[in-house]
Structure 1
Amino acid sequence: MLRLAALLFCGLISVAQAQLPDRPVRIVLPSPPGGTADIVARLLAETAAPHLAKGVVVDNKPGANGNIALAEAARAAPDGSTLFLCAFGPCGANPSLYPQQGFDLRKDFAGLILVGTVQNVMTVRPGLPAATLQEVLALVKARPGAVSFASSGVGASNHLGPEMLRGRFGLDWVHVPYRGSGPATTDLIAGNVDVFFDNVPSILPHLRSGAVRPIAVLSAQRAPELPEVPTFAEAGVPGVVIESWFGLIAPAQVPAGTLASLNAAFGKALANPALRRRFTELGVAPLGGSTQQATDHMHAEIARWAEVIRQNGIRAE
């Protein structure tokens, strides 16, 4: 009887393994190395590798605000060997900013698993003559066209946050898009741009060193890493909550069994105490959950930001 049970157990393992790709799983990233998304992807890949037949590799494909990487993932063989790491822009704002992408996120991709969220913080260059959110807003109003804000690219969370404020308060400030948060931060420190809405993990070392100054966080609660910094609501501007997120998606035609096996493998990685500890140190709240939860979240983000983009007349520049 025990032998029969052992054989059945081994058979179940073999079936599960058979549903995993027989080559390395490739996570395609829409961003260059070194940013928060890259760090998250590489930590996740390293931790998930033992649970996958051939391991995991990370492939950075920056450009066109994530559309290049998404297009490549959409064309990939639907065997589960190519995944895409969603972020706020490519899987939230882009469908409304770029209606002619050549693919449809809602039809051509399926959610695999939610990976984590990070909080965003409004920061300013050291010499900006404004210390609070209300003072920054007053400064922009007093100097129309003179105050600039950086972004890591059109459609990123650090682009749409300032655009929401533009629409709400009639602000006339200048958008300066960069290719990634690194160059934007460099110019903020140098004083070449005035304001940058970055995610906490990326900007935190520069806040701690005093190279840039925090103004307010764009979340419902204060960031644990910045307990002295108020939320937008506490600073007098309610309703501005923008949390960046990461999640894995796969081509829609990947078999359900393969999706389930991949979800289980990455779910084990996200449950790993060492990974969760490292994520927390970086300011990333680890998630997880089912494939359906990942799909539902992506669809909800697309709908949410479609409305924001429409209301504020935001366009891809």
Structure 2
Amino acid sequence: MTRLTALLALALALICGPLHAQEDYPNRPIRLIVPFAAGGSTDIVARIIAAKMSEILKQQVIVDNRGGAGGNLGAAAVAKAAPDGYTVLMGTVATHAINPALYTKMPYDPVKDFAPVSLLVNVPNVVIVHPSLNVKTTEELIALLKANPGKYEYASSGIGTPLHLSGALFESMAGVKMVHVPYKGAGPAMLDVVSGQVKIMFDNLPSAIGHIRKGSVVGLAVTTKDRSPAAPDLPTVSESGLPGYETYSWNAIFAPAGTPMAIIDKLAKAGAAAVADPDVKAKLADISAVSVGSTPDALAAHVKAELAKWGPVVKASGASINE
């Protein structure tokens, strides 16, 4: 082999190698990093979807829980991973919309450090009150709060969490004032609401719906644009006293920036097919998650809109974390 022939062969290998790897993708298991502890709503959603994606991609999609710093630790791990499609993130409203405004030191850029893959599901929040408050609608709650500024407390899962900021947005849009009581998680917060120690809470619908059905709390309205199929009798906040109000949790797959588009497209199609599967949709609906399955471009637009929405809310709330 001449020197020129050898150089041409090397160049061809360098060009064709990555292309073949993309065509052959995936040829080994994929790690789906969930940036929160096992057992939470993001983890549950991830495991339901990962099982179906494993079937579709014919490679195991392994859920890897990397909790800490409100989701920042797990998200940062993916941002720094090789852009080969074998380490991806189950991102949320926290990791890609709220934390960038909440934390003074971010270990990643939510836009520049990630390649959007697919918005998989939306999860409604719900406004709940203790029965002793004697309100049945959002309009009645707003009227009560306006007549008693600063008198009533609302519980959340912690400072700067989506549940805290759902309450802060409610205060801002309704022109009312409540006292925020942060807890170390939604579970302890709900215990105090059920007992009546705190009268109001903005919670994820999956964890609240059992208490609503038992009557231990009163569900006033869901926070999404449309009513939830899991609780069709509950109106939306927007249609019951606060037009334009909308908050919800969401789960989406992100890959590290620089991941080849061919791999992004394969992952996006697999994610969309997974959440469109009738059995998966039923499992997700059972925990009040609404299937979406967007394109990468649609997820990119969604993140941009969410950053613009939550930045001012975080600032107005005064919440800030120095980590």
Structure 2 length as normaliser, TM-score?
Answer: 0.84
The answer on whether the counterparts of 1:279 and 1:285 sit within 8 Å (CA) in structure 2 is: yes
Kindly state the Cα deviation for residue 144 of structure 1 after the two structures are TM-superposed.
4.3
1:125 correspondence with 2:130: yes
The answer on whether the counterparts of 1:181 and 1:198 sit within 8 Å (CA) in structure 2 is: yes
**1:99-110 equivalence runs, <5 A:** 99-110=104-115
Q: Which runs of no fewer than 5 residues in structure 2 stay unpaired?
A: 1-19
1:92 correspondence with 2:97: yes
Q: Which residue of 1 aligns with 2:8?
A: none
Instruction: State the alpha-carbon separation in 1 of the partners of residues 57 and 208 from structure 2.
Output: 33
CA-to-partner distance for each residue in 1:23-70, whole Å, 9 max, x for gaps? 422222233222322211110011111233540121223332211221
1:83 correspondence with 2:88: yes
The answer on whether the counterparts of 2:156 and 2:180 sit within 8 Å (CA) in structure 1 is: yes
Instruction: State the alpha-carbon separation in 1 of the partners of residues 159 and 78 from structure 2.
Output: 21
Instruction: State the alpha-carbon separation in 1 of the partners of residues 170 and 292 from structure 2.
Output: 29
Kindly state the Cα deviation for residue 255 of structure 1 after the two structures are TM-superposed.
2.0
1:52 correspondence with 2:57: yes
Partner secondary structure for residue 177 of structure 2: coil
The answer on whether the counterparts of 1:28 and 1:61 sit within 8 Å (CA) in structure 2 is: yes
1:316 correspondence with 2:310: no
Q: Which residue of 2 aligns with 1:8?
A: none
Kindly state the Cα deviation for residue 213 of structure 1 after the two structures are TM-superposed.
1.0
Q: Which residue of 2 aligns with 1:253?
A: 258
Partner secondary structure for residue 57 of structure 1: strand
Instruction: State the alpha-carbon separation in 1 of the partners of residues 229 and 269 from structure 2.
Output: 30
Q: Which runs of no fewer than 5 residues in structure 1 stay unpaired?
A: 1-13
Question: Which amino acid counterpart does residue 206 of structure 2 have in structure 1?
Answer: P
Change (3 A) 1:180 1:53: farther
Kindly state the Cα deviation for residue 165 of structure 1 after the two structures are TM-superposed.
2.6
How many residue pairs end up in the alignment?
Answer: 302
Kindly state the Cα deviation for residue 249 of structure 1 after the two structures are TM-superposed.
0.6
Q: Which residue of 2 aligns with 1:18?
A: 24
**1:297-312 equivalence runs, <5 A:** 297-310=302-315, 312=316
More divergent stretch after superposition (77-86 vs 104-113): 77-86
The answer on whether the counterparts of 2:165 and 2:317 sit within 8 Å (CA) in structure 1 is: no
1:202 correspondence with 2:207: yes
How big is the alpha-carbon RMSD for the aligned residues of Structure 1 and Structure 2? Answer: 2.3
Change (3 A) 1:180 1:73: farther
Question: Which amino acid counterpart does residue 306 of structure 2 have in structure 1?
Answer: E
Change (3 A) 1:271 1:136: closer
**1:170-249 equivalence runs, <5 A:** 170-249=175-254
Instruction: State the alpha-carbon separation in 1 of the partners of residues 174 and 240 from structure 2.
Output: 15
Change (3 A) 1:251 1:188: same
Structure 1 length as normaliser, TM-score?
Answer: 0.85
Instruction: State the alpha-carbon separation in 2 of the partners of residues 60 and 128 from structure 1.
Output: 39
Instruction: State the alpha-carbon separation in 1 of the partners of residues 21 and 273 from structure 2.
Output: 18
Question: Which amino acid counterpart does residue 131 of structure 2 have in structure 1?
Answer: P
Kindly state the Cα deviation for residue 143 of structure 1 after the two structures are TM-superposed.
4.4
The answer on whether the counterparts of 1:124 and 1:195 sit within 8 Å (CA) in structure 2 is: yes
The answer on whether the counterparts of 1:31 and 1:180 sit within 8 Å (CA) in structure 2 is: no
The answer on whether the counterparts of 2:174 and 2:242 sit within 8 Å (CA) in structure 1 is: no
